[in-house]
A and B are shown apart, each in its own frame.
Chain A
Amino acid sequence: MSQAPPPLGTPVLRHEGREKVTGTARYAAEHTPPGCLYGWPVPATLARGRVDAIRAQEALALPGVHAVLTHDNAPRLKEPDDPVLAVLQNDRVPHRGWPVALVVADTPEGARAGAEALRITYETAGHDVLLGEDHPGLYIPETVNGGYPAVRERGDIERAFATAPVQIDATYTIGALHNHPMEPHATTAQWDEGGHLTVYDSSQGSTKVRDSLATAFGIRPQQITAVSEHVGGGFGSKGTPRPQAVLAAMAARHTGRPVKIALPRRQMPAVTGHRAPTVQHVRLGADLDGTLTAVGHEIITHTSTVKEFVEQAAVPARIMYGSATSRTAHRVVALDVPSPSWMRAPGEAPGMYALESAMDELASALGMDPVELRIRNDPANEPDSGRAFSSRGLAACLEKGAARFGWYDRDPRPAIREEGPLLLGTGVAAATYPVYIAPSSASAHAAPDGSYRIRVNATDIGTGARTVLAQIAADALGAPLENVRIDIGSSDLPDAPLAGGSSGTASWGWSVHKACTLLRRQTGERTGPVPADGLTVTADTQQETAEESPYARHAFGAHFAEVAVHSRTGEVRLRRMLGVFAAGRILNSRTARSQFIGGMTMGVGMALTEASTMDPVFGDFTESDLASYHVPACADVPEIEAHWIDEEDPHLNPMGSKGIGEIGIVGAAAAVGNAVRHATGIRLRSLPLTPDTLLPYLL
């Protein structure tokens, strides 16, 4: 039976794993065409104002420095589709870290020395960088990220809340968070004599990079090839092209040589996006049996003066729990700060921290088990829209997780489990993430020797996209996996959407499935052998994905965490964590497990170590590198287990899959925070839970 494809779900080994463990997988900055120069961006050192003058003589006199690009001499762009790409076009400084120059030299050392030798003077204007609940600039946007309405109301929440016998009214805050993928954003750009631009770009979707660069440079998309073959993580920050792509292409045009730019780590927080800080006001009103009667989730957040991006943190409260009344609302203020953007589960990750912490507070106030409280309020239909769920596995995840974790052994009273100087506790929280899908195209080619070649511009940012798409193709073709070759990661392949919104596998996979299904039908209908030059079928899912589903489609999950809090230092150590997810059909159990655990791990960082402070004087993120911004290290991450329930959902796509890249982080921080509260009796409402924040309550 070696000729049969492995059934979907098989733990197939990662396709490009061998290249990655031998160091032969090439990332964007690892392409060095002959004559390649190196660019070093120069960030603005003030938060608001304009560039007065840039004196470049000393820099240009340094050996090996080829050019200094500034707004005075950089190529003029057409209006880019994203204003963060409009670099070196005028003298305006909208935030600290905005690129004001680029030094190009024949070595990285030379470019960096040139950047240090630039003499830049600025005209400063007063800046405004602090988010506060009484900021006069707060306004209600039309929509928030994801295209959702900013405000939704159902029933009279004020009355319902005021008359509820049990009320929780609490405000939770999370500072800015940074994606910090291990591979810094990088681009190698080269123009050929015919005016064709090739960029090797570290991106989550090179079709989008091609189109954005075409708009910015006023050329046709066909004149650009954007390659993102291997990408060292993105977590949203590479979902849209970043300034280094434009700078590299500009510099390559200006110098007539290939130019490579890899952003220095410390420049990343200012120009590659961040999770915007949120202040979240949650009100829950419940009857004595735990039935919710009022759910209020109102948030404020910041955006930049460059563009409006509104973290949709109040949106998950529209989905999670039933209640007769609800108000979910967002307000935003444009500050002189870097532009926020996507970071793993934008909206859901911060929003569910607040909502799931509040649910834990409600369970405590009711004297009710927090698992039971959530199951009691599990709605039959999506509360906000009234639509039926295509599938909703929340209760199953909670029940299975509680059993596996040993949840019910717990004594619910806080601060009573001691182990020497340690206080131990356990916590639970729920997770949710919507099902997104975007149109994609793909081609499938059958060769006479029985091999197949699938082409689709998917991007593998570490998800295992290559592997799972090959599995989908083999399954649809009824062919053995080793006969299927998959090409991804270049804009010369059939257009495809980016790896984002946990939608990649569903979107790309659907087009691959469709092309392969059509090809299989064609080859099946033929009487003779496959012709010498093979058979090719191209398919796109424009029509299938345009139809809005009558169902509310979301993945769900539950996290369980155990922590130990040191009673004398305030240090919180995670002991173990267990997640159970309901995300449709899992297509590769090996890579899926890795993604779930990865999301949970990032959630542990959000809970315990990741903090970014906006310095009011300099107008900058203080923790801008990996020495100061503490992403979890190996010793911070003990046993983390991820499980799932088998979910059959016929309303998704031909594979029956929901996205899995983001749900792992959603609710993870709340589970840890709830465990800290159980361990210590202390309810902190601000992340991260660092020793200095806990210690005052422990002494």
Chain B
Amino acid sequence: MDPSRGRDDGVRQPGATGDRSTLTLQINGTERTLTLDHRTTVLDALREHLGLTGAKKGCDHGQCGACTVIVDGRRANSCLLLAVAHDGAAITTVEGLADGDRLHPLQEAFLDRDALQCGYCTPGQLCSAVGMLGEAADGFPSHVTPRRAPVSAPAPLGADEIRERMSGNLCRCGAYPRIVEAIEDVAP
């Protein structure tokens, strides 16, 4: 026996060793039940277990935003979420933004404005923009929102607001000016 090969534990039963759990996620409107290692993040569950590779792994540490998805209506870095802690959550990924063949208006705007190059940050930018528009509509302020702005009223989104609110999503190709234009096209 090759001593460099580890022991093969084979397929485990859910919960058999206490290091796995069975949980259900509502992904893009479809219920998916999975038995996952407790260490598995929502991002790895999507990418490695469900074949939904739209959400990207750029840093795995919540630093780049490439893994952004929408969890129960709010954007989140899926690399920072343990799947086991999100049983029952409703998750929208980039694959769930379009309505069949009809692209989401933000997806259309990203194409029109050429708001992408390598495309690796793009799914995160799109999900982040969807979440951000929702936050603004709900009156969430940002660092650049004027202090006297009415509380809880929808925040108007100029370029500065968009730049500030989208700064959790890095783009190394430098598509930012185009991304801001694309979001401005769609923002109310």
Contact = CB atoms under 8 A, between A and B. Distances in A.
Interface string A14-27: 10111111111111
B169 A634 contact: yes
B86 interface: no
Given A182-B56, A634-B163, A591 B118 contact: no
Contacts of B119: 16-17, 19-21, 25, 230, 232, 462
A29 B117 contact: no
Interface residues of B, number: 69
A268 to B, nearest CB: 10
Contacts of B172: 179-182, 233, 235, 602, 631
A590 B114 contact: yes
B107 A21 contact: yes
A637 B8 CA distance: 51
A487 interface: no
Contacts of B170: 182, 626, 631, 633
A9 to B, nearest CB: 15
A37 B52 CA distance: 18
B111 A17 contact: yes
B131 to A, nearest CB: 14
Q: Is the interface of B mostly helix, strand, loop or mixed?
A: loop
A182 B58 contact: yes
A65 interface: yes
Nearest to A113: B39
A258 interface: no
Interface in B163-188: 163-164, 166-180
Best-surrounded residue of A21, A107, A640 (most CB of chain B within 10 A): A21
A535 B96 CA distance: 42
B103 A597 contact: no
Contacts of A230: 118-119
A599 B176 CA distance: 12
Nearest to B59: A265
Contacts of B5: 60, 66-67, 255
A255 B2 CA distance: 10
A692 interface: no
A224 to B, nearest CB: 24
B32 interface: no
A600 interface: yes
A183 B118 contact: yes
B166 A634 contact: yes
Interface in A612-646: 625-627, 631-640
A327 B51 CA distance: 58
A276 to B, nearest CB: 20
Nearest to A255: B5
Contacts of B116: 14, 17, 20-21, 462
Interface in A237-269: 254-255, 262, 264-265
B74 interface: no
A498 interface: no
A56 B3 CA distance: 9
A14 to B, nearest CB: 6
A39 interface: no
Interface string B60-79: 11011010000000000000
A230 B121 CA distance: 13
Given A107-B37, A637-B174, A598 B123 contact: no
Given A230-B119, A625-B63, A633-B170, A109 B53 contact: no
B95 interface: yes
A18 B111 contact: yes
B138 interface: no
Given A32-B48, A60-B5, A265-B60, A181 B174 contact: no
A590 to B, nearest CB: 5
A462 B53 contact: no
Interface in B132-188: 159, 162-164, 166-180
B168 to A, nearest CB: 8
Interface in B15-58: 17, 19, 37, 39-40, 44, 47-48, 51-58
A69 B4 contact: yes
A595 B111 contact: no
A61 interface: yes
B55 to A, nearest CB: 7
Best-surrounded residue of A105, A595, A637 (most CB of chain B within 10 A): A637
A275 to B, nearest CB: 14
Nearest to B109: A21
Given A73-B4, A235-B172, A626 B120 contact: no
Contact of A625 (B4, B55, B61, B167): B61
A182 B171 contact: yes
Interface string A176-217: 000111111000000000000000000000000000000000
B68 to A, nearest CB: 12
Contact of A232 (B17, B56, B169, B174): B56
Best-surrounded residue of A13, A14, A462 (most CB of chain B within 10 A): A462
Interface of B: 2-9, 17, 19, 37, 39-40, 44, 47-48, 51-61, 63-64, 66, 93-95, 97-98, 103, 107, 110-112, 114, 116-123, 126, 159, 162-164, 166-180
> Ordered nearest first, which 5 A-B pairs have the shortest CB separation?
A23-B54, A232-B120, A601-B174, A462-B118, A20-B119
7 contacts: A13-B111, A17-B110, A20-B119, A61-B6, A181-B172, A265-B64, A627-B63
